[in-house]
Amino acid sequence: MLNTGYVRVLLVDLATGDFRTEDREDLWRECLGGTGVASCLLGESVHDDRDPLDPAQPVAFANGPLTTIFPVVTKTVAAFRSPLTGEYGESHAGGRFASALRYAGYDALLLTGAAKQLSYLVIHDDRVELRTAAALRGMDTIETGRVIRDLVEGAGHRSILRIGPAGESRIRFANANVDTFRHFGRLGLGAVLGSKNLKAIAVTGQKPFTMPAGSRAYKALYAEVYDRVLHTDVMKKYHELGTPVNILPLNEMGALPTYNVRQGYFGEAGEISGEAFAEGELITKRACTGCQIGCIHVALYRRPFAPGWEYESTMVAYDHELVYAAGSLLGIGNRPGVLRLIEEIDRAGMDVISCGTALAWATEAMERGTVGPDQFAGLDLRWGDVERYSRAVALIAAGRSELGQWLSQGEVAAARHYGGDGYVAAAGGQGIAGYWTGYAHVLGHLLGARHSHLDNGGYAIDQKLEPYTDEAIVDRLIEDEAERIVQTSMSICLFARGVYDLGTISQALASIGMEHSVDDLRAIGQRIYWERIRLRERLGFKARLEDLPHRFFETPTPRGQLQPERMARLLQIYQARRAAVLG
């Protein structure tokens, strides 16, 4: 992609192991990379009439033109049909996957078909090989990584993406672990890979690429961006306390979802704050390749296992969303308990946020008598009871027991079956992130392509937008998502979104020989935004008030109690904006 005039796509048919490359000049010109390329590749090959877990369904991965060659351009974007929502699925991961794919000489990867037996894919420059993973069946994500590290070359710089037992069992919110501490977390990529019998992908590359002409401009801009990343306040919060810095301020303003979003305030927030983790458990930080921030906060999870001062310890990465989903949302106010659940959910290969929202719904459903322990292998869930939640995680990961099976399809499916959809903590079919700030957060989750807080930053719009009018909320959500599409089409980590304004992106592209003005980039972002909505609608996406739970209109936010009438007006405005472009 770099200075080449095309996007090089590696296409692998997992049914046969056959592979070939395509150099796509059209994608290079029109879709930039990352989100643009992945959504476009998916749109070309996804089957509207087939189940998300049908072997024929494709999975697309894409890097961007700036991948690895500028600071904090670390992500790979995956696009697939989500088994959790049934519609469009997009998920981003860091680690070493993006750099390894770049060094192997590919900008994008398109997988189709299903392997005949459980397998792992090795991509090493021009060699692409499907190997049996028969001995890895049921292995957790950490152990799978360790075994494959012993089996493939490229120590130090390779990337290993893998699924856990939950992905193999097609748990609908199973994730794909990348290099231990990063994930394609949301919307069930792990289940899709499981449906393809693909346990892992190991990527390693040795193809250096020469600096483009005019590399002096590139080097100078790199140094400037580097200084902005490290020596200004723009990214400070990510390398100091990390995202859990949010726990206390959100709690103060009543915006920390707690007890299945029955309240926005958690009495024990001080115990699980970013400050408390940093002082008590933080042992080191880690970074994705090419990111000088090192936002990955790694805790020591240390616990006794026998009398006589016998301790076992593991390293667990934590983040705001995980501390919320395995903490306040479940009423867990102790750090070892939070770390324990994060580790167990992660090893099984499930998305921690979705697992947390499923457990939270189940706890409330048990409290209300909608479901009972006899449907859950005798397990009676209680707020804050880590031991019971730990057993519940195992039941869900294995799809064991009647309730375990339903929960493994997500709380929305479970609530549809048992009743109780008024109190799912989900919008658009997926559990919400750890904010309870107001209309923009909820609407942003519903409208966002990933049904994620990162699509459009609704939580920040709630906190900053004045005047907070209906039109302004909707327009900001659309504008923010369209601008973030430019950033994620570069595969820039969104933590660096304050560093990479469109002007900087335009300059960075120019320094490597790609000319895109700011206006041009903005127009491309808007085009991809609406094209992606067209694709999402093809796959079944609808923005409907009735898909929001009653719970969201009960629990007060810093913007007051949300009113269904106002939410309906916001949706009408969105529909009008949509109709103006898509008809």
Cite the beta strand spans of 326-378 per DSSP E: none
Task: Give the nearer residue to other proteins in terms of CB position, either 159 or 375.
Answer: 159
Q: CA dist 240 to 73, 244, 410, Å?
A: 20, 10, 34
Nearest distance from residue 287's CB to other proteins, in Å?
A: 4
Q: Which is nearer to other proteins, 198 or 293 (CB)?
A: 293
Nearest approach in angstroms of CB 244 to other proteins is 17
| Among candidate residues 41, 39, 51, 394, the one with its CA nearest the CA of residue 195 | 51
Residue 424 amino acid letter:
V
Report, in Å, the least distance between residue 222 CB and other proteins: 7
Q: Alpha-carbon distance 218 to 225, whole Å?
A: 10
- In whole angstroms, the minimum distance from the beta carbon of 430 to other proteins comes to 31
Nearest distance, CB of residue 344 and other proteins, angstroms? 22
The Cα-based distances of 524 to 32, 115, 222, 339, 530 in angstroms read 8, 36, 24, 41, 10
Cα angle vertex 61, ends 58, 64, to 5°? 145
Q: How far is the CB of 278 from other proteins (least distance, A)?
A: 15
Rounded Cα distance, 94 and 75, in Å: 4
Question: CB of residue 511 vs other proteins: minimum separation in angstroms?
Answer: 12
Find tokens 């026998």 and name the residue: 306
Q: Measured from the CB atom, is 74 or 555 closer to other proteins?
A: 74
Contacts of 205 (CB under 8 A, 6+ apart): 100, 101, 102, 103, 104, 105, 123, 124, 125, 154
Binding site for other proteins (CB under 8 A): 68-69, 71, 99, 103, 155-157, 205-211, 215, 218-219, 222, 226, 230, 284-294, 296
**Considering the complex, what minimum distance in angstroms separates the CB of residue 330 from other proteins?**
30
User: How many Å apart are CA 409 and CA 407, to the nearest integer?
Assistant: 5
- With respect to other proteins, which residue has the nearer C-beta, 291 or 355? 291
User: Shortest Cβ distance from residue 141 to other proteins (Å)?
Assistant: 17
Taking the C-alpha atoms of residue 226 and residue 220, their distance in angstroms, rounded to an integer, is 10
Encoded tokens for 356: 């947390």
Q: What is the CA radius of gyration of the chain?
A: 22
Residue 68 or 452: which CB sits closer to other proteins? 68
Closer to other proteins by CB, 67 or 260: give it.
Answer: 67
Nearer to other proteins, 201 or 298 (CB): 298
The C-alpha angle 208, 210, 212, rounded to 5 degrees, equals 145
Burial category of 25 from C-beta neighbours within 10 Å (exposed 0-12, middle 13-18, buried 19 and up): exposed
What is the nearest approach in angstroms of other proteins to the Cβ of residue 210?
5
Looking at the Cβ atoms of 102 and 347, the one nearer to other proteins is 102
Q: Which tokens belong to 148?
A: 């494959």
Q: How far is the CB of 206 from other proteins (least distance, A)?
A: 6
Shorter beta-carbon distance to other proteins: residue 223 or 581: 223
Taking the complex as a whole, how short is the minimal distance between the CB of residue 290 and other proteins, in angstroms?
A: 6
In this complex, which beta carbon is closest to other proteins, that of residue 52 or of residue 205? 205
Q: With respect to other proteins, which residue has the nearer C-beta, 99 or 437?
A: 99
Instruction: For other proteins, give the closer residue by CB, 239 or 335.
Output: 239
Of 68 and 526, the one with the shorter C-beta distance to other proteins is 68
Q: How far apart are the first and last CA of the chain?
A: 34
Strands ordered across the beta sheet of 7-13:
19-24, 7-13, 108-112, 59-62, 76-81, 88-93
| Closest approach of other proteins to the CB of residue 96, in Å | 9
β pairing state of 119-124 and 198-204: parallel
Quote the CA–CA distance of 20 and 104 in Å, as a whole number: 14
- Tell me how far apart the alpha carbons of residues 327 and 329 are, in angstroms, rounded to a whole number: 6
Q: Closest CB to other proteins among 114 and 298?
A: 298
Read off the DSSP letter of residue 350: B
Alpha helices in 253-334 (DSSP H): 274-280, 320-325
- Contact (Cβ atoms closer than 8 angstroms) between residue 242 and residue 295: yes
Rounded to whole angstroms, the Cα distance separating 180 from 566 reads: 43
CB of 280 to other proteins, least distance (A): 20
**DSSP secondary structure of 91-126:** EEE-TTHHHHHHHHT-SEEEEES--SSSEEEEEETT
Cα separation, 412 vs 426, whole angstroms: 7
